Amino acid sequence: MYGKQDLLVVVKQILELCKIMLK
């Protein structure tokens, strides 16, 4: 089980990867 804060960190990391991939 992930905590809400841990989940937010994972989501932020995924969004950063998406930004890099889209460039």
> If DSSP states are collapsed to H, E and C, what string results for 1-23?
CCCHHHHHHHHHHHHHHHHHHHC
**pTM, entire model:** 0.54
- For residue 4, what pLDDT is reported? 87
Mean pLDDT of the chain, nearest integer: 90
CA distance 8 to 22: 21
pLDDT reading at 2 higher than 70: no
